[in-house]
Structure 1
Amino acid sequence: MAVSWEKYPRRALQDKLPMKIPEQNPSRSLPVLCLLQKRQELMDVDHGLWAQKEEFQTRMVVLMQRREQLEQKKQELKGAFLRFDKFLQDAEARRSRAARRAAEARHGAGRQEAEAQRLRAQLEALRRERARLRRRLERLWPGARLLERVLGQLPEFQEVPELVARFGALADTLAALRLRERGLRAELEEARARLRRLRDARRDELLRRGQQRAQLLGRLEAARERALHWESQWAQIQNTAAEKTLLLGRVRMAALNLYQLVCQHQRQPPALAMEDTEGQLEQVKLFLLDRSALLASLPRSEPETL
């Protein structure tokens, strides 16, 4: 059956230490008995230390199962325990060598006492190390209790790693949402900037359109004034044309009457059309020139009667 690494130092210590005190000469065994008594005291202290260590290790194992975030610190503690185990093995080896030296040389009791003093110093150092580990455990214990209370309030989670994983996922989601929020805020700011630019462009366009409208209204007013002027001119032209048309009609009627009179005087039917006013005036002109020449050829005293 495999032995766990936590129990290995204790098992090795028990295997290497003698269980029975050998019978020796009372006069020579007093230092050895003292050494064995000190060694027994050290074993008792070690037993107590290992009992506390096993209890502490049990709690640490439970805490390791409940919270993965403390794995690194637990690995540090595990490394410390391994170093502690190695230290104990080295100490056991040194104690074994010291025992062999004591068996081989009984007169080395003084040196064994010095070794015992050194071991007691090492034991004191181990106690200080135990106190340090206990303080570390006390610092870590509130976090473990807090996780246990939170786990008790959340029945949907069975183990602390599930709770930690869930909160880790929520933290990642929150970070992603915050990143998305920053992106949306940037897009919103860009949209607002575009809106401001569009509003400025719209305002400039409205201003330009207003100026164009004012210009067009001015041009329209000027065009209306010109239209009124040309309408008045057109009315005047129409009135003048009507007068001229009336006068022309009268002239044409007069020319036609004269042409008809000339035709009657010449006893000839009218050969020209009624609309040929120029031809009629030409015929009247020729008739008048002919009569003028005739009158000029007659004496002044005998006027000819038409």
Structure 2
Amino acid sequence: MAVPWEEYFRLALQEKLPASSRKIPEQSVDHFPPVLRLLEKRQELVDADRGLQAQKEVFQTTRAALKERWEQLEQKEQELQGSFVRFDKFLKDTEARRSRALRRAAQERLRADRREAEARRLRAQLEELQRERARLRCRLERLEPCARLLGRVREQLPEFQEVPELVARFDGLVDMQAALRLTERQRLAELEEARARLQRLRDAGQGELLGQGQRRAQLLQRLEAARERTLRWESKWIQIQNTGAEKTLLLGRTRIAALNLFQLVCRHKTHPPALDIEDTEGQLEQVKLFILDLSAMLASLGQAKPTPAC
């Protein structure tokens, strides 16, 4: 059974004290509790320190374990990254192989389509050749009598040793006949056109003669009308000349009168304006200004004149 700290220190103190002083009255025990409490506190501190030390050791152990776990996790992370890289590379290689396989498949499909198109073209060409062969066979069967006829003609015409020579001669004769017929048709067409042109010329000549007679009559009428207008305009021209002479004479008189008035005005001015002798409008303008100034002066004099007394 554990002994309380206060009891333990009290017994130890009694053993160290002399016998005479061991008999301490009960009232002196009240002076030791602060020391005992201090020792108790110190023991508590020691126990707390031991607990902290134990917790520190536990913490260090846990920290080491966590550090080791962290290193393991980092190693696993690196391994996972390496696995990811390898898996990514594997995916890229797989995608590349898939792309190459798709391209090869597309190329194979394209080549197959080309071969199929070429096969269809060849089949169509074969069918066309077969139709051409059938047509030529029919033509050969149809021209067989002609070949026999040419053989008999060659026997009757020994100058043609070969059938192509006879055919060429026949073709030449046919072409010549066609050319002669074409020439004949052209000559007939030219003759008809010449006859039609002659008839048109005859009709046009008669119409031209009639038109010339009508135009001659119209021109004679226009000539008579022009003569009448000429006489009328000559009389008007003489009248205009006479009127112009009168107007010219009147204009000369007017200019002389304006010049005389301008000279009279210049006599009454200290600085007469220098105007050309032909400047009639300027002279009349100066006369007008002089008359206006004179009228104003007379009006001002009339206003300034005193009224006579009654």
Query: Is TM-score (shorter-chain normalized) higher than 0.5?
Result: no
Give TM-score, length-normalised by structure 1: 0.32
Give TM-score, length-normalised by structure 2: 0.31
Q: Which has the higher contact order (CA 8 A, sep 6+)?
A: 1
Q: Give the number of the structure whose alpha-carbon radius of gyration is greater.
A: 2
